[in-house]
Structure 1
Amino acid sequence: MVWEGMLKDEKSSSMYTITGTEQQQIVSGLNREYHIFISKPNVEPPATGYPVIYYLDGNSVFGTVVEAMRIQSAKPEKTGVVPAVIVGIGYPTDSPFSPARFYDYTITRGEIPMRSKPDGTAWPDQGGAEEFLSFIEEELKPKIHRTYPTDPSKQALFGHSLGGLFVLYALFAKPAAFRTYIAGSPSIHLNERSILEKETMFRNQLEKQTICADLLIGIGELENNHKSNIGNYAKKMVGRLSNYENRGLKVNFIEFAEEGHSSVLPPLVNRSLRYSCETWNRSFQDRQA
């Protein structure tokens, strides 16, 4: 694994930067390269360490979530948002999304139902979700914990679209990896067979043991009419998983009015901050009870 220092653009002295953030390059043990965006609170950490929220597709959402956190965490007593470390997991590209995400966020190779993308080009390689989750758990999270004082009991994972699919996979495959899971507009239709198999195994596990996890699934209102049926898939999964609150899984659903698959991302990112803090507070209260 390679962990390099902060990247600088020597050609442009006027480039805009976000205060309190840095960027790192990591090459995983399986030789996959990631661009990691990190924001650290400008306040002293709690005795137990900072909470941490990991955001997939860091290239597209990091700036949005950092500014939302900076503004809201300034008055946590009013907003309910406490300072937390933000980690955006991205790729070495200037684009908001990298084709590499198809491999990292999908469960099985070749399961996407269409032979080619809507524009006629071939789909990128797929099926690396297990490897990607291992990278987060065994390489990235330990590095973040060694670099910053963080609280392992207050960790959240956020993903949208294919990233939302991966969030569901992570919950089903390793529910103790995070306290809070936020799946926005999950692309269940692209890996329907695999993710439903994982869900069934997860629900069977819940029949035998309890966990401690919160799941938020969010969609845009306009996704109810999307040709992929993405909204209906999400609602059906919420319905099935909501039956396991007595086994320690708390499920919430939110639908943002007049938002579509892409436009839902900013309000969902904003909501993820307060939702994560709510789940962490509830966990603390449960331990105190």
Structure 2
Amino acid sequence: MSTINREYAEPGGAAAGVLERVTMPRSEQRTMRSRAENREYRIFIAVPEGEAPPSGFPVVYVLDANSVFGTMVEAVRVQSRAPERTGVIPAIVVGIGYPTDGPFHPARHYDFTREIRLEDLPFKLRAGERPEHGGAEAFMAFIEDELKPRIEETYPVDRRRQTIFGHSLGGLFVLHMLYAKPEAFQCYVAGSPSIHWNKQVLLEEERAFASKLSASAGESTGETADIKLFLAIGELEKSHHTGGGENAAELCERLSALSEYGMVTEFKEFEGEGHVSVLPPLISRAVRFALRPEPADRQV
């Protein structure tokens, strides 16, 4: 097997026939370390063209950014060119990734999960080495207390329109964040969420969240929640031994009952797609769900 070696010129400075690295327009990356645990993250940021609206741009925070940041950015960039036709407005995309050139990093297992007893581990993991896990609370604090303030002080952000997107274990983390800190985002997208991981604890969180939501709506303020949740799976996931398809569909049915308290829940099963292949159509639909124009956004 041969190895391909290339020398690249700086972008914009290459003579004819000289290779340049491909870059994503209006995108950049930086490294951040969490204060609590000194964990290293690679943060990817893409900003729309043009002037921000008076309220700022909506923001979509993306987990597993090494694998899906590019797809999310292009989905937003292409669909938001004509909001009056596509129903998608421009948004800043912030990807939370890791110091690797691969699509995934083992650290995601720690960041996206809560502590679990050995006997409660999903059975497919019992025979192998127990993965490092249990860092969801610290990761949530990093997002809320460090990353979001940095983004908000650097870019024109509409704090009323913030979305978090996660898939698989990332989808599990999105659900945990919804239950634990629902005010953190206005829109939550959980694709193929790994509900089987510590399922009983997640159910307890769900019940506590539902009780809190109904209690808040019953107070004299008369205010309702401003929360949207999009759940999705691939059709081929329904046959998987973890029961991911059934888990997600049943969850959507339960949470749909919270619509009277102002929560919007939507479920989509993508025909012919599996756990990984579902990502592109999931991202496309998530963009339309999260970035719908408000009346003031629409162009007449």
TM-score by length of 1: 0.90
Alignment of 1:112-191 (within 5 A): 113-114=121-122, 117=125, 121-191=128-198
Residues 18-33 of structure 1 aligned to structure 2 (within 5 Å): 18-30=24-36, 31-33=38-40
Does structure 2 conserve the Cα–Cα contact (< 8 Å) formed by 1:39 and 1:87? yes
Q: Which amino acid aligns with 2:278?
A: V
CA distance in 2, matches of 1:159, 1:106: 12
Alpha carbons 1:242, 1:251 under 8 Å: kept? yes
8 Å CA contact 1:116, 1:123 repeated in 2: no
1:265 matched to 2:279: yes
Cα distance, 1:281 vs. partner? Answer: 2.5
Give the C-alpha shift of residue 116 in structure 1: 6.5
Query: What is the RMSD computed on CA atoms of the aligned residues?
Result: 1.9
Q: Pick closer, same or farther for the CA change 1:248–1:144 going to 2, 3 Å.
A: same
**Secondary structure of 1:239's partner?**
helix
Partner of 2:265: 251
Match of 1:82 in 2: 89
Q: Which runs of 5+ in 2 are unaligned?
A: 1-6, 10-19, 218-224
- Summarize the Cα distance change of 1:110–1:101 in structure 2 as closer, same or farther, 3 Å threshold: farther
Displacement of 1:121: 4.2
CA distance in structure 2 between the aligned counterparts of 1:154 and 1:234, rounded to whole angstroms: 24
Which has the greater radius of gyration? 2
Partner of 1:281: 294
Q: Deviations over 1:208-241 (max 9, x none)?
A: 0132100010011111111111001111111111
Query: What one-letter code is carried by the residue in structure 2 that aligns with 1:42?
Result: E
Contact 1:168 1:183 in 2 (8 A): yes
TM-score w.r.t. the length of structure 2 is 0.86
Could you say which residue in structure 1 is the equivalent of 2:240? Answer: 226
Q: Distance in 2 between matches of 1:225 and 1:98?
A: 26
Q: Structure 1, unaligned stretches of length 5 or more?
A: 1-10
For residues 84-107 of structure 1, the C-alpha deviation after alignment (integer angstroms, 9 at most, x for no partner) is 000010011111111111111112
1:143-182 deviations in Å (ceiling 9; x for gaps): 0000001010010010000000011001000111101000
Q: How many residues align?
A: 273
Q: Distance in 1 between matches of 2:140 and 2:31?
A: 18
Q: CA deviation at 1:12?
A: 3.9
